[in-house]
Structure 1
Amino acid sequence: MKIYEMTNDQRIDYLIKSGNLTDEQAAFLRAGKPISQDIADSLSENQIGTFGLPYGFATDFLVNGKEYLVPMSIEEPSVVAAASNGANRVKKSGGFTVKTSPHIIYGQIVLETNSADKLEILQQNRQEIIDLATAARPSLQKRGGGVVSLTFEIIADWNEILIGVNTVDAMGANIVNSMLEAIAPHISKLTETDVLCSILSNSGKSQLVDVEAKIDFDNLATKKMPGQEVAERIVQLSQFSKHSVMRAVTQNKGIMNGIDAVLLATGNDFRAQEAAVHSFFSTESGYQPFSDWQIMDDQLVGRLKMPVEIGTVGGAIKAMPMAQLSLAIMKINNSQELQAVIGAVGLANNLSAMRALVTTGIQAGHMSLQSKSLAISAGAVGSEIAAVSKELNRTKNYNLQEATKFLQKLRNE
């Protein structure tokens, strides 16, 4: 039986047998209480309840020689299906190769002046400032992190102090902000200048992942189109996206479909990720697509180089049981490993979308997976949902009117 044909309990049993879940973790999932009232109340303001999203997993991810099942939290089934489909095609040709960079977060202190003399004073006291920042988070050095850079610059009418911090496995916002607020008063005193603001930057420029996937033509073919032609058409569409912002935006949204779903499942900040990646690809020549596809040595080769701002410890990640469960299912050891998997998910979703667009079109597969949502919108419950979905997929009439009509017929019978 295929995984998407299993019941929820059967899928959980599958994860136990594959070694991705313990019996205790499985019992937690089956209980259907992903977050307690106390945790929810501590993570939000004016909290009155919890908002649920479906929680599933994508399959067949082979990343740097290691296999992963990847939890995803999203309301759109086609995103999970596309991730698994793309990953399977890449796996058959050897899997994803991913390089990651050190986990560096930057923080900014802005002074209400643009004086070169002030910057000289700061430069003379550079080590003292670094020592103060380190003292604000002493445990960070014990984990292998700490301040890695400190620069001073004039930007228009202001002086900027930019500090780079290796936050190891933490996303790092609270760490960096704590350091900034510890050193800002001293910097203000040294320069006799008011501080305009102290805050981290979500640029992500030093948290890059470089993902590569090579796919044999045979693993791209459809019933009506040979694999080489599919590859050539994907390359054409990739090139077009470099000249059309309208297309680039949509292509990038498809990549973020999968990435955001993993970020949600692991308790990470998808808003920071969106800001980082879209700014990274807003260049002087205009907004660009995240991915690039070419044909090399009789293979389709895809590459995705982008910032991935995540953590595996601290904050909401530590507080949310489902986030911890997701990391356990993936058997993730550190933040750079999670970065690599997330990058692979983005490229897998991109491959599936591009292949569908240049062959059968996106709607056929998308709507067949959305048929259950239509059934629910029509009022179907329990076994009615599957029955209405099956009828919609048979007739290919994917609209609420048809779903309501068949549901009424089903109930009359």
Structure 2
Amino acid sequence: MIRRITGFSKFSKEEKIDWLVKAFFNKQSITKETLKSYWNTNEKLQRLHDDFIENTISNFYLPYGVAPNFIINDVDYTIPMVIEESSVVAAASLVGKFWSTRGGFKATILGTTKIGQVHFMYAGRFSELQSYFKAIKSDLIDSTSAITTNMRKRGGGILDIELRSKTAELDNYYQLNITFETKDSMGANFINSCLEVIATRFQKEGIQIVMSILSNYAPGCTVKAEVSCKIEELIQGTSEIDPEVYAQKFKTAVDIANVEPHRAVTHNKGIMNGIDAVVLATGNDFRAIEACAHAYAAKDGRYKSLTHCEVKEGFFKFWIEIPLAVGTVGGLTALHPMAKLSLEMLQNPSAEELMKIIAVAGLAQNFAALRALTTTGIQKGHMKMHLMNILNQLGATIEEKEKTISYFENVSVTHSAVHEFYKTLK
């Protein structure tokens, strides 16, 4: 059966759904009902969602939760998180509360610059290209003045343009490497618009422009977040765990992620659980954040941990340094009602303040994971949170859920154990 179509984008939403269910689904009426059940009953809001992307037929909801009790630079925050994975929000909440009684989190901006590049080929003499670039450099910046006016008023704009030879990597390949400051805007459209104007102005016999595009690798837009306390304060209550042994074991877990890429990938994935959840909640681009973070983790030639740990002279210190190119104005942040709500919840932060909050969420998530891994193991807490997912898959009633949750208070949760207990309820 051929499942191809022309003119699909011109169909109405109803027509798109009709074609789709006939072409790919057996239970057509149920499929239609499912798709339409996720439409927003507020028609104005649904039209807004429909316009975000092309060929919209429905919405795909993810849970929106909050993690309270975070203190960052002596300011109280409740952090919004959008994620489907069990235990992430719970873990963040527990860690936020834990460190709130130990001085909270400290966060510092290390840089806010971003990069755009004009990629081109040139087979002539490099000395001639250099001379041409030096003569035209100021004109290249001036050519963008109409685009950069408002950004310059806010203290941003083009900071510098550099000619780079990349011929050692690819014959005849050069680039204009352009540094930008975009203030509270993520700045993708702004940067790309400037680059295209610069590429048009950068004309010389022998120069072949290949493309002009921002780079999502932004090592100049970096934030540091950290926590620290006396080693004896790391253990809560009457735990029998020796604080010094625990601190050293925790540090060793981080060290392993620094030397073993297989572990580092999972280690950093846990960090991104926290980071992506806040990035999504605030309407920012989590794909760009992910790509940049993983490139940064490999900047020394081997993929490593994004977090670091020090146990020294009676103190425990844990921190993260990570590039986060985010914005609080423009894009979805100005359009999506929930993104706007998230930013208001975070006290309408600047882009720099949001960088700090997001970095803290990543650090908190990593702390929670490493604490579990080096003590009780990751599955105990995770499977407790996953219990409700298993029960929903089984179609359990409210009464059956209550009985099962009560039973597993002091029993290890596994899929098979839950299935067996559920059988006894039936």
TM-score of the pair, normalised by structure 2: 0.83
C-alpha displacement at 1:409, in angstroms? Answer: 5.3
1:62 matched to 2:47? The reply is: no
Q: Deviations over 1:77-132 (max 9, x none)?
A: 31112212222222222111111134322111011215422232122111111111
Residues 328-339 of structure 1: pairs in structure 2 closer than 5 A: 328-339=344-355
Q: Distance in 1 between matches of 2:44 and 2:263?
A: 39
Residues 372-391 of structure 1: pairs in structure 2 closer than 5 A: 372-380=388-396, 384-391=400-407
Name stretches of at least 5 consecutive residues in structure 1 with no aligned partner. Answer: 1-30
Name stretches of at least 5 consecutive residues in structure 2 with no aligned partner. Answer: 1-39
> Match for 2:137: what amino acid?
R
Does the C-alpha gap of structure 1 residues 361 and 128 become closer, same or farther in structure 2, counting only changes over 3 Å?
same
Choose the corresponding residue for 1:125, options 136, 142, 167.
Answer: 136
Does the C-alpha gap of structure 1 residues 46 and 391 become closer, same or farther in structure 2, counting only changes over 3 Å?
farther
**SS state of the match for residue 263, structure 1?**
helix
Choose the corresponding residue for 2:263, options 227, 233, 247.
Answer: 247
1:78 matched to 2:87? The reply is: yes
Q: Deviations over 1:364-401 (max 9, x none)?
A: 111111111111111135565444444344543421x5
In the alignment, which residue of structure 2 is the partner of 1:89? 98
Q: Distance in 1 between matches of 2:99 and 2:41?
A: 34
Moved more, 389-398 or 105-114: 389-398
In the alignment, which residue of structure 2 is the partner of 1:230? 246
Residues 196-275 of structure 1: pairs in structure 2 closer than 5 A: 196-221=210-235, 223-275=239-291
1:37 matched to 2:82? The reply is: no
The answer on whether the counterparts of 2:110 and 2:222 sit within 8 Å (CA) in structure 1 is yes
The answer on whether the counterparts of 1:35 and 1:321 sit within 8 Å (CA) in structure 2 is no
Q: Distance in 1 between matches of 2:41 and 2:278?
A: 19
Residues 338-357 of structure 1: pairs in structure 2 closer than 5 A: 338-357=354-373
Moved more, 262-271 or 288-297: 288-297
Q: Deviations over 1:130-173 (max 9, x none)?
A: 11123223211122211111111111221200111111111111
In the alignment, which residue of structure 2 is the partner of 1:151? 162
> Match for 1:76: what amino acid?
E
In the alignment, which residue of structure 2 is the partner of 1:166? 181
Q: Distance in 1 between matches of 2:145 and 2:111?
A: 18
Does the C-alpha gap of structure 1 residues 347 and 35 become closer, same or farther in structure 2, counting only changes over 3 Å?
farther
In the alignment, which residue of structure 2 is the partner of 1:186? 201
Q: Distance in 2 between matches of 1:179 and 1:191?
A: 22
The answer on whether the counterparts of 2:71 and 2:105 sit within 8 Å (CA) in structure 1 is yes
Q: Distance in 1 between matches of 2:231 and 2:87?
A: 23
**SS state of the match for residue 197, structure 1?**
strand
C-alpha displacement at 1:228, in angstroms? Answer: 2.2
**SS state of the match for residue 112, structure 1?**
strand
Q: Distance in 1 between matches of 2:403 and 2:351?
A: 43
The answer on whether the counterparts of 2:380 and 2:413 sit within 8 Å (CA) in structure 1 is no
Choose the corresponding residue for 2:297, options 281, 287, 290.
Answer: 281
**SS state of the match for residue 372, structure 2?**
helix
Identity in percent: 33
Choose the corresponding residue for 2:209, options 180, 189, 195.
Answer: 195
Q: CA RMSD, aligned part only?
A: 2.2
> Match for 1:170: what amino acid?
S
Q: Distance in 1 between matches of 2:222 and 2:174?
A: 27
Task: Give the aligned length.
Answer: 379
**SS state of the match for residue 139, structure 2?**
helix
Moved more, 113-122 or 161-170: 113-122
Moved more, 312-321 or 116-125: 116-125
| Segments ≥4 residues shifted beyond 6 Å | 31-35
1:299 matched to 2:315? The reply is: yes
Q: Distance in 1 between matches of 2:43 and 2:393?
A: 25
**SS state of the match for residue 144, structure 2?**
helix
> Match for 2:148: what amino acid?
R
> Match for 1:134: what amino acid?
S
**SS state of the match for residue 51, structure 2?**
helix
Q: Distance in 1 between matches of 2:417 and 2:263?
A: 32
Moved more, 285-294 or 320-329: 285-294
1:320 matched to 2:336? The reply is: yes
Q: Distance in 2 between matches of 1:305 and 1:385?
A: 42
In the alignment, which residue of structure 2 is the partner of 1:134? 145
Q: Distance in 1 between matches of 2:373 and 2:79?
A: 24
Question: Considering only CA atoms, is the larger Rg found in Structure 1 or Structure 2?
Answer: 2
Moved more, 347-356 or 134-143: 134-143
Moved more, 79-88 or 149-158: 79-88
Q: Distance in 1 between matches of 2:399 and 2:330?
A: 41
Q: Distance in 2 between matches of 1:114 and 1:201?
A: 25
Q: Distance in 2 between matches of 1:100 and 1:68?
A: 18
The answer on whether the counterparts of 2:250 and 2:371 sit within 8 Å (CA) in structure 1 is yes
Q: Distance in 1 between matches of 2:115 and 2:100?
A: 35
> Match for 1:100: what amino acid?
I
Does the C-alpha gap of structure 1 residues 398 and 232 become closer, same or farther in structure 2, counting only changes over 3 Å?
same
